[in-house]
Structure 1
């Protein structure tokens, strides 16, 4: 079986919920996948297991040599994939002729653009950042075009952020793990329970969602929020006194803990502003919700409406207070059975078209064809 070396830009202690099922479980059926993580907290190379390696960040500039020195034979790999780090990609390309591997650049998200959008939300001056981003994108495009393949999260991400990349493109989208579905726990309360998982900050403008909830006439609902910064959430909620008692805050430490919380809800919330950093790929939280067959209210965008159908396997809304309010009131008026049926249909839809098992097979076939 051919081997793939996947060099991440991630710390060993980060949540690898996307990487684990796709690269470590399903792609491993077609390729032997070894993964390199980086750490600021250790001074020496470490084998976490047979296929997971941890490398001190100080060795990034001599990464391949250091891997070889620790008996990770670079010449044994048919493919070397680099996630997001263009400097490491340059190093890998420089050694390509020596080791005869195929090179792949994986773009998981447009991180610079996210920072610029955050700066705009904070009221900062982004002129210099935008100019810098333009030149960096030009330089990175040249590097990516030297690779054998480019793996963006979506075709939209390719077109919007790297439109001049012309090398072979293999889409690597988020998906649902067919062997890790989470039981949906039906609560006995009459209220409809909504759940939001993820970061809260100015750029996500969650106040728009809270304003919509504050205008809903019915009081027969609850909203649970799981976020890494509970204090930020509490400070935000204090501005909406009339619904404060309907909202509770959580801080799920692990993916399993998060899925347990989601499974107790009725409806997932994936409403995000209509910015390219959000609407060029399907939010991962949507897949977390449907893992438990929890139907979702989501922003109507080119990505969501190509997967789901409004009022059939999901609910769409513009990212506007009144539109969100109207859709929330409609959902609250439904029976719990009708809501659960929407979730079952949505889960089936994702298992049909965004299934990690199928995604891995497609990636393996396209890598083999390079």
Structure 2
């Protein structure tokens, strides 16, 4: 069996919900996968298990040497995959001829573009920032084109953020874990229960969603928000006096707690502004919702509508107050059984086309062909 070293950009204690099922479980059936996480809190590298290692961040510039010193033999790997960190990718490329492995760069989210979008929202972007971004993209593209494989989350992400990458590309989207499905816990109340999971900030413009909820003529609904910054959410909701009794705010401490909250909802909310940083891939929260067969109201985009069908296995609308309001009113007019049926269809759709088991098999086949 061939061996792959996956160098993440994540701290050992963070949620590894994407890395764990795809790379630790499903891809491991075809390729022996070892995973490197980083730590700010330890002074020495450590083998956490047979296939997991943690390395202090200060060793990033000499990562392969540090792994070799800790009995992780780099010359045994057929592939080295780097997640998001272009500096580590550059280091891995420099050592490629010495060890003869194939190199893979994994792009999951356009972090710098998201940061720029945040600065735009705060009115802090200058022409120099824009020029710097273009130069960095040029340099990153040059490095990625030296790799054997580029592994973006979607074709749209490739086209929007790295259009001049010409090396072999394998699309590796997020998916649903067929062994981590949870039952949809049907509540006895008559109200429809909506759920929003994720970050709230100026860029996501969640006020537009709250504006739509505030215009509804009925109040037979509840909205639960789970976010890492509950104070920000509370201050936002306080601007809508007519909504305070309909909204609950949580800060789920871990993924299991979040999924437990989602399982008690009726409809997931994944409405985001029509910016490339959000509409070039399906948000992970959507997979979390459908893991419990919770149907989702989401932004109409060229990416989402390739996977879902409006009013069949999801609901689409534009990210505009009136359009959101009209779609919410339509959902509120449906019976609970009709809503649950949309969720069941959506879950089946994702299990058919965005199933980690299938994604791993496809990825392994394409890597074997390199």
1:76 corresponds to: 76
Q: TM-score, normalised by structure 2?
A: 0.99
Aligned to 1:255: 255
What is the Cα deviation at residue 129 of structure 1? 1.6
Contact 1:116–1:126 (8 Å) recurs in 2 = no
The aligned counterpart of 2:357 is 357
Per the alignment, in what secondary structure is the counterpart of residue 81 of structure 1?
strand
TM superposition shift of 1:99: 0.6
CA contact (8 A) 1:119 1:126 kept: no
The secondary structure found in structure 1 opposite 2:203 is helix
What secondary structure is seen at the aligned counterpart in 2 of 1:297? strand
How many matched pairs? 370
Unaligned stretches of 5+ residues in structure 1: none
Describe how 1:91-106 pairs up with structure 2 within 5 A: 91-106=91-106
| Deviation per residue, 1:81-123 (Å, 9 max, x gap) | 0011111111111111111100000001111100000001112
Structure 2, unaligned runs of 5 or more: none
CA distances 1:306-348 after superposition (whole Å, capped 9, x unpaired): 0000000000010000000000011011000000000000000
The Cα of 1:127 is off from its aligned counterpart by 2.0
SS in 2 for 1:224: strand
Write the distance in 2 (CA, Å) between the matches of 1:216 and 1:242.
10
The superposition leaves residues 179-212 of structure 1 with CA deviations (integer Å, 9 ceiling, x where unpaired) of 1101110000000000000000000000000000
1:243 Cα deviation (Å)? Answer: 1.0
Q: Do the aligned residues in 1 keep the contact of 2:44 with 2:56 (CA within 8 Å)?
A: yes
Aligned equivalents of 1:285 and 1:233: distance in 2?
17
Q: Aligned equivalents of 2:293 and 2:266: distance in 1?
A: 9
Are the equivalent residues in 1 in contact too, given 2:192–2:222 (CA < 8 A)?
yes
Q: Give the corresponding residue for 2:172.
A: 172
User: Which structure 2 residues correspond to residues 157-306 of structure 1 after superposition, within 5 A?
Assistant: 157-306=157-306
User: What is the CA RMSD across the aligned residues, in angstroms?
Assistant: 0.6
Match for residue 310 of structure 2? 310
Q: Secondary structure at the match of 2:6?
A: strand
Measure, in 2, the Cα distance between the counterparts of 1:69 and 1:126: 45
Q: Take 1:75 and 1:227, find their aligned partners in 2: how far apart are those partners?
A: 43
Counterpart for residue 148 of structure 1: 148
- Structure 1 runs (4+) deviating above 4 angstroms are none
SS of equivalent to 1:55: strand
46-55 or 288-297: bigger deviation: 46-55
- Superposition pairs of residues 50-65 of structure 1, within 5 angstroms: 50-65=50-65
Instruction: Output the CA distance in 2 between the equivalents of 1:196 and 1:34.
Output: 34
* Rounded Cα–Cα distance in structure 2 between residues aligned with 1:368 and 1:50: 23
Give me the whole-angstrom Cα distance separating, in 2, the residues matched to 1:48 and 1:184: 35
Structure 1 residues 17-28: aligned runs within 5 Å: 17-28=17-28
**TM-score normalized by structure 1?**
0.99
2:338 alignment counterpart = 338
